[in-house]
Amino acid sequence: MMSDRKQFVLVMVVAALFVGWLGWRGFEVISLNERLKADDVVASYPYKHRVLRVEGDTAIMSSLRSHTTSTHKALSAIFPSMRNLGDSHRDWQRAERELAQVQARAGDVILGASGISRIRWELDENWYHLQTMKSKYDTRL
């Protein structure tokens, strides 16, 4: 049977390894997001694509589009001045192409990092929530 002192040391070593692992995962996400900030095209786009977390060799990245959220809604949130344009207006088409190109480039930047071989996009619900709160605040002023 192990003494109390040995059990304590074992628990502390396991806890230190776990904290170190968590710290490494956080550092990995931070360094991947720094890669996105260093890319002029990705960094200059109004929506900031980012890595949310890493699971194995897969980077989970934020996106404004999903199966349930249309590109039109995403672009309306980024460019409120376009809300009054017709759906077939050329500015919508140009903005859709640009969003797709920037998102693809953001994915390519992250795929260029060692240890990442796949990207999974996840709807950035927090960003939409913040935009809603901002618009409510702006209308009260």
Give 98 or 87, the one with higher predicted confidence: 98
Reported confidence tier of residue 130, pLDDT bands at 50, 70, 90: confident
**pLDDT of residue 54 exceeding 70:** yes
Q: Domain limits of the chain?
A: 1-45, 62-140
pLDDT at position 137 is: 62
Q: Is the pTM of this model over 0.85?
A: no
The DSSP symbol for 112 reads: T
What percentage of the chain reaches a pLDDT higher than 90?
A: 43
Helix axes 90-111, 71-78, angle to 10 degrees: 90
Please give the backbone phi and psi of residue 123, each rounded to the nearest 5 degrees, phi first: -60, 130
Bridge partner residues of 53 (DSSP): 60
**pLDDT of residue 3 exceeding 80:** no
Supply 4's token pair: 């109390």
pLDDT in tens, 11-49: 777 777 766 665 555 688 999 999 999 999 999 999 999
Measured CA to CA, the distance from residue 39 to residue 31 in angstroms comes to 13
Give 133 or 36, the one with higher predicted confidence: 36
